[in-house]
Structure 1
Amino acid sequence: MKNSVATQSFPKLVSVFASLLLLFHLVLAADYVPTEKILLNCGEKSDQSDNDNRKWTPDVGSKFLTGTEKSVTSPAASQDPAVPEVPYMTARVFHSNFTYSFPVVSGRKFVRLYFYANSYDGQNATNALFSVTSGSYTLLKNFSAAQTSEALNYAFVIKEYSINVNGDHLNLTFSPSSTPSNAYAFVNGIEVLSMPDLYSNSDGVPIVSQQAPLTIDNATALENVYRLNVGGSDISPSGDTGLFRSWYDDQPYLFGAGFGVSAAADPNVTIDYGTMATYTAPVSVYTTARSMGPNAPINDNYNLTWLFSIDSGFSYLVRLHFCEFTDNITKINQRVFNIFINNQTAELGFDVIAAAEQVDVPVYRDYVVVVPGSNSQQDLWLALHPNETDKPQYYDAILNGVEIFKINDLNNNLAGTNPIPGLKQDIVDPSLALPSHSGRTKNQTAIIAGGVSGGVILLLVIGFCVVGAARRRRQGKDSSTSDGPSGWLPLSLYGNSHSAGSAKTNTTGSYASSLPSNLCRHFSFAEIKAATKNFDEALVLGVGGFGKVYKGEIDGGTTKVAIKRGNPLSEQGVHEFQTEIEMLSKLRHRHLV
């Protein structure tokens, strides 16, 4: 009798178990549904919808305003064609401390602040200088939206933070600076969104080149500074996973002549998130990627590199997203590579298939990098290179997405300095510049190859003049995306060379038509020494496999270049260096002249 009951119950148990598994899978597969979603259109009197069809509520008469503090509302005096109407055409202006108070449940929140530098209430935009705090955290200090917009050529600015709230209210206090005497604060829009705990790690995140990890917990506040869809196009907030994040094309941040190969998954590929929540990143992040390309000898002689301008004096959380979706990479040890951050080893021998345990399954890796210094901008380098030690089938590397977050310092500060107009805000050095993303600035780009007698010292110059620009897109839009926060992209570094298509791979940059050698400009060793101030160590930008890379100036200082000096004692020989020079000298590309 007992056996009979057990036999009858077993199918029911199996059915219940299967239902629970299905429910678990559906929960993982669904987009995140925020329990709190506040979109406050500051200075506005009626409900309005933005370009992503998100509804913004007015702050005039809002319960989020405190009753005792004074402020005024004002429309913007003018509208830049690149600026959406919502939420940027109205603002609330403060001449003294002012606090918004949002009733929330405890937990982690996304806080996004929207700014459009313009004249409000007859005030000069340059006098808007203020700080923003939330509880014990300083989000902005002496912030100038006008100076930031001018220096970086932003149409508008969005600041995104991840803050844990312990109580039942999230407060945001805007405080005009003490100088100048007529300084004021303003804000165009405020977004508060409940979020899952995506970035905390009680076990600690490894710190690059250090032994002890860094714990990211409820006391940690983060500011997102970059979020890239590597190898793909922009993803607007409505295309995210319920968290309304903006993901941007990575091409503006690629460094050097080796742009690699962008790839898109076949339409029949289904991304399986496994135990990872799907709101970690959109499917479109994991179905596009950038790799180094099919040429192993070339790949062995360069790094696939991205550069980012960041504030010094902080630690940064770097999250890298990976997914192998191509037909030819299905097994362990087919594509193995090393990960370097700021010229330091973050991880050796990373194998996406080994980490994910199968194809079409995404994984991510978190690293913390410490950037010393104070009150200045520095460059954060991210580089991938094939791992030769494991002897993989393909000498290649791949990346699908990048997120970079500033971590609050010991004083709970996240505020950096305002960028300085007139200094080229770029990935290498404030004195170097690149073509603007919108194509409005046409600075010269140069690639120079030269040799020195004796065959001991070889020089390769690859110069890129750049101008930092956020996505103003005054002359057209990507039809595949909304015309949402196009001005937020933090510092565009190269011209917009993205080419969308349905083909599985699109080659950009590295593999190009040849250029006759007689069109290359040649330099004497004396000219190279003059350009680098006799190879001044203060001008070293980095160290590669062949030797050091120096910042230099030619043509009377009108053209900024990078000069690679071959070292005969380096791990890679003179012959390989000569091969690199010859290969790059023959390239013909929109960024190589």
Structure 2
Amino acid sequence: MKINNHIFLSLVTLSLIINTVHGKGGPNALLLTCGSSDNGGKDADNRAWEPDTKFLTSGDKSAMSKAETQDPSLPSAIPYMTARIFPSESTYQIPLQNSTLRTLLRLHFYPSSYPNFNISNSYFSVIAGNVTLLSNFSASIAAEALSQAYFIKEYYLAPWVSPTLNITFKPSDNQNGSFAFVNGIEVISAPPVFNEEPVLIGSVISDSEQEETVKVSIDANSIETMYRLNVGGQYIAPSNDSDGLMRSWYEDSLYIYGAGDGTALKADKTITYNKNVPSYIAPLDVYGSYRSLAAGNADLNKNLNLTWVFEVDPSFMYVLRFHWCDSEMTKTNQRVFDVFVNNKTAATEVDLFSWTTAISTPIIRDYMVRVTNNTQLWVSLQPNTKTGAQYNNVLLNGLEIFKLSDGVNRSLAGPNPTISDMMKKYQGSQLAPKSFETEKKTKSFTVLITGAAGGAAAIGVAAAIFLVAYNRKKKVHGGDAGTSWLPISWNSNSTTNNKSPSTSGRSQGGTAISTDAACNCRYFSLSEIKTATKNFDESNVIGVGGFGKVYKGKIDGDTNVAIKRSNPSSEQGVNEFQTEIEMLSRLRHRHLVSLIGFCEDNGEMILVYDYMGKGTLREHLYKGNKNNLSWKQRLEICIGAARGLHYLHTGAKYTIIHRDVKTTNILVDDKWVAKVSDFGLSKTGPNMSKGHVSTVVKGSFGYLDPEYFRRQQLTEKSDVYSFGVVLFEVLCARPALNPSLPKEQVSLADWAMRCARNKTLDDIIDPLLKGKITPECLKKFTDTAEKCLSDHGVDRPSMGDVLWNLEFALQLQENSDGGKSTSNATEIVESEDVVEEIDQKSLMAIHRSMLSLGDESEVNENKADDNTDDIFSQIVNPKGR
């Protein structure tokens, strides 16, 4: 059954001869370098651009201007170094070669300094035909929020009744001295990319007799491109796109939710286009790589899924295009899975071989969903176990997300980002986009959009979309390189010549590890690593994370180690690789995972750690995982992790903020000793006299401090907030985010705080713990967790106070059980050279003094174990406090 929500426009077919650009620009492309007084020129991709003057309407009073500075990140001077400035409303009249087709429109913006114009005064609207693309838009604010020097907005305009497309730039009336501007315009007669009608999600009616879907026509909708991902594969530069459409395809790994990011693989079969998927849909490289769940874990995979999370504008309809190509299955009912979007079923019993009746055959499916009040779009793939399929697994090759124009207002305009006071203060300095350059002079940015759950739900929509963008630097041959992680609509498209593997973000042996760090840990050759892992045998894989796979290995004969290897096909991780080595080579503490050494032979990025036999804390909390931890075990693990974090905050030479505290980064050894791990995102500073470090937002969904998210001012209290989520995760035995639950329960932080206010926390405690926690212990524990989740950092306890309270809670539990605490004052306190016993009076004095320590609390980072932490964390008779 099909329904049409729109009356299809009556179309007039008229061909006009216009200047076309062939070669890399593709046929039927008009490229305008705006504000140029000469004859245009060619960009870094050898595409010819022409001046825009003849396409402006008569009587136009716009001005031509040239940027005063050329940011190093610009891929080329054309079209960015010249701009057309519009003090009043002005219109381009663009001839269309074929008005029956959609028009691919790209607008290029470089909000730099222009003579006699203050770019911060620029607020304007852009209307193409009868569709509002931008409204009261500030390119300057957007660039600042994204830490980008320039960006591109990309649209597919609905077929137009006229042979001429009018593009109008209109300065905002409510801003004094406002003006509009643009640097470049691309107008391309697009092939029929949107030929299929998407399935309306939520319309699936399925029973034993029938399954019916509702499809909706989008012919009358204009479309904005939001995301375009090569799932499981590498970044595909515009010059390598199919049919000269110059699209960019990005890696998907940084949008994956949670620790289980599956396995990225490459097809070993030849893939060709077919009548259902012509070449202009996507380049073959998209179908040649894919992501699935780890092989060989059939029982475990039943309960797993692959999930991606994206930031979007609310109150719009979105079309999600799934690209699939199964190069493994050779008959039906071998791999069957379900697709969910925002916790709604998009497709059930997806059997790609059944759909295509052939192996290695590309296929696409489009689905439509409305996003109402939230700013996140969740996409999940989960094995379907009802059909009895041979393999419990999923598969995805590519994903595109498009925003549809509002049917009433015919608008695609979203809000401007909100710039924080901190970002305004540092305008032109820390916010200035950094330049990156490889051997091939390839320049690009790496920008990641992350979202925040929990308290961050109250943050404005614009901030949720834009303010969490940040630059991820990557070292390449002594230079920097990266790949944009923005929504495609904001992408700078700056990688222009990414053709050689040598220009990737891989280390290539040039990771620039400091001499000090290199001296404090062991360097392994690649042959040693291969021997330790039996040449990276898959049977030795003990985990998979955002950085890559983790293998169990043996070195020096019989010493067990954990070996973390960066995904060889990934361009991410160089910065994290360096940070991890620099941090952990200087830190030695009982509750911090120990780095033994590293390897960077042949462009590899490999880290070698002490082996943690019990895995991650998360593995022991949720249903179906390794062990059911007792309450005492959970408390002791939390105490150990708190000790490690307290040491980072106060015991090292400089304050160290972990920035990614979560249950997957708390490891447990064979003796159930907890250790904090993964310092790839950690931040340190010479002092904290300002109380914070100004930095772009990094972290994990569900654990992110809402104040840090709002203000981009990182403090140690950001770790405290994340640790508060961990405490509730331990108590409730559920993930920090669970999109399968009702909306109000998705975020554990939000739900726990709501239950606390309603005095119903008992209802969400892990059923395995019911009746096993003493009331006094439970109250102390939950009070501590609640305080950690305070909206404002100043209201949160220090990690030292958190540690004290957890020790207190354990004592309350032990005293009630009639047992003996494992953390009393007679416990021997070990440091590198000292063994001593601390009595209660001395302990209390130490506690009071340490809470007031400032910069004078510096301790040599190279000490084997910082005694201030262990001394502080011992408690005698907590009831005496």
* Shared fold, TM over 0.5: yes
* Residue in 2 that maps onto 1:237: 238
Number of residue pairs the alignment of both structures matches: 476
Q: Structure 1 residue 282 and structure 2 residue 303: aligned?
A: no
Do the aligned residues in 2 keep the contact of 1:473 with 1:486 (CA within 8 Å)? no
**Greater relative CO (CA pairs within 8 A, separation 6+):** 1
* Residue in 2 that maps onto 1:251: 253
Larger radius of gyration between Structure 1 and Structure 2? 2
Out of 385, 397, 401, the position equivalent to 1:400 is 397
Do the aligned residues in 2 keep the contact of 1:156 with 1:488 (CA within 8 Å)? no
Q: Structure 1 residue 367 and structure 2 residue 389: aligned?
A: no
Do the aligned residues in 1 keep the contact of 2:302 with 2:383 (CA within 8 Å)? yes
Aligned letter for 2:393? Answer: D
* Residue in 2 that maps onto 1:91: 83
- Work out the CA distance in 2 between the residues paired with 1:500 and 1:357: 42
Cα deviation for residue 352 of structure 1 reads: 1.4
* Residue in 1 that maps onto 2:201: 208
Cα deviation for residue 498 of structure 1 reads: 7.9
Describe the superposition over 1:205-261 as per-residue Cα deviations: whole angstroms up to 9, x where unpaired. Answer: 221113673533432111111111111111122211222211111122111101111
Cα deviation for residue 283 of structure 1 reads: 0.3
Matches within 5 A, 1:147-166: 147-163=141-157, 164-166=159-161
Please state whether the residue corresponding to 1:255 is helix, strand or coil.
coil
Do the aligned residues in 2 keep the contact of 1:529 with 1:535 (CA within 8 Å)? no
Do the aligned residues in 2 keep the contact of 1:131 with 1:140 (CA within 8 Å)? yes
Out of 64, 67, 71, the position equivalent to 2:58 is 67
* Residue in 2 that maps onto 1:49: 42
Describe the superposition over 1:311-359 as per-residue Cα deviations: whole angstroms up to 9, x where unpaired. Answer: 0010001000000124xx2221111111010111111111111112111
Stretches of structure 1 that go unaligned for 5 or more consecutive residues are 1-30, 426-435, 446-465, 555-564, 570-593
Do the aligned residues in 1 keep the contact of 2:305 with 2:381 (CA within 8 Å)? yes
Cα deviation for residue 469 of structure 1 reads: 3.1
Do the aligned residues in 1 keep the contact of 2:104 with 2:155 (CA within 8 Å)? yes
Q: Structure 1 residue 113 and structure 2 residue 107: aligned?
A: yes
Please state whether the residue corresponding to 1:413 is helix, strand or coil.
coil
Describe the superposition over 1:1-54 as per-residue Cα deviations: whole angstroms up to 9, x where unpaired. Answer: xxxxxxxxxxxxxxxxxxxxxxxxxxxxxx999652101111122332222221
Cα deviation for residue 96 of structure 1 reads: 0.5
* Residue in 1 that maps onto 2:302: 300
* Residue in 1 that maps onto 2:266: 264
Q: Structure 1 residue 352 and structure 2 residue 352: aligned?
A: yes
Q: Structure 1 residue 469 and structure 2 residue 469: aligned?
A: yes
* Residue in 2 that maps onto 1:550: 748
CA change 1:489–1:440 in 2 (3 A) is closer
Please state whether the residue corresponding to 1:354 is helix, strand or coil.
helix
CA change 1:390–1:159 in 2 (3 A) is same
- Work out the CA distance in 2 between the residues paired with 1:440 and 1:263: 24
* Residue in 2 that maps onto 1:37: 29
Aligned letter for 1:180? Answer: Q
Please report the TM-score for the alignment, with normalisation by the length of structure 1.
0.71
* Residue in 2 that maps onto 1:414: 412
Please report the TM-score for the alignment, with normalisation by the length of structure 2.
0.49
* Residue in 2 that maps onto 1:184: 179
Do the aligned residues in 2 keep the contact of 1:156 with 1:487 (CA within 8 Å)? no
Q: Structure 1 residue 169 and structure 2 residue 171: aligned?
A: no
Describe the superposition over 1:511-561 as per-residue Cα deviations: whole angstroms up to 9, x where unpaired. Answer: 42464502346999xx8589779999xx9954448985424699xxxxxxx
Out of 189, 194, 199, the position equivalent to 2:189 is 194
CA change 1:356–1:57 in 2 (3 A) is same
CA change 1:332–1:530 in 2 (3 A) is closer
CA change 1:551–1:184 in 2 (3 A) is farther
- Work out the CA distance in 1 between the residues paired with 2:25 and 2:676: 58
Do the aligned residues in 2 keep the contact of 1:207 with 1:213 (CA within 8 Å)? yes
Do the aligned residues in 1 keep the contact of 2:477 with 2:507 (CA within 8 Å)? no
More strand by share: 1
Describe the superposition over 1:110-146 as per-residue Cα deviations: whole angstroms up to 9, x where unpaired. Answer: 0111111212233222211110001211011111111
Cα deviation for residue 296 of structure 1 reads: 2.6
* Residue in 1 that maps onto 2:674: 519
Aligned letter for 1:336? Answer: V
Describe the superposition over 1:356-375 as per-residue Cα deviations: whole angstroms up to 9, x where unpaired. Answer: 211110001110010113xx
Do the aligned residues in 2 keep the contact of 1:470 with 1:486 (CA within 8 Å)? no
Do the aligned residues in 1 keep the contact of 2:225 with 2:488 (CA within 8 Å)? no
CA change 1:119–1:359 in 2 (3 A) is same
What is the RMSD of the two structures over their aligned residues, measured on CA atoms?
A: 4.3
Do the aligned residues in 1 keep the contact of 2:318 with 2:401 (CA within 8 Å)? yes
Please state whether the residue corresponding to 1:63 is helix, strand or coil.
helix
- Work out the CA distance in 1 between the residues paired with 2:354 and 2:412: 36
Do the aligned residues in 2 keep the contact of 1:82 with 1:472 (CA within 8 Å)? no
Describe the superposition over 1:154-186 as per-residue Cα deviations: whole angstroms up to 9, x where unpaired. Answer: 332211111122211011000011122111111
- Work out the CA distance in 2 between the residues paired with 1:331 and 1:397: 15
- Work out the CA distance in 1 between the residues paired with 2:214 and 2:422: 35
Please state whether the residue corresponding to 2:254 is helix, strand or coil.
helix
More helix by share: 2
CA change 1:535–1:82 in 2 (3 A) is farther
Please state whether the residue corresponding to 1:311 is helix, strand or coil.
coil
CA change 1:86–1:308 in 2 (3 A) is same
* Residue in 2 that maps onto 1:130: 124
Do the aligned residues in 2 keep the contact of 1:157 with 1:487 (CA within 8 Å)? no
- Work out the CA distance in 1 between the residues paired with 2:32 and 2:483: 16
- Work out the CA distance in 2 between the residues paired with 1:291 and 1:144: 40
- Work out the CA distance in 2 between the residues paired with 1:351 and 1:499: 36
Stretches of structure 2 that go unaligned for 5 or more consecutive residues are 1-22, 205-212, 424-433, 435-443, 453-465, 492-503, 509-535, 551-561, 563-610, 613-666, 678-718, 753-763, 769-881
CA change 1:322–1:530 in 2 (3 A) is closer
Please state whether the residue corresponding to 1:367 is helix, strand or coil.
strand
348-357 vs 509-518, greater mean Cα deviation: 509-518
Do the aligned residues in 1 keep the contact of 2:172 with 2:178 (CA within 8 Å)? yes
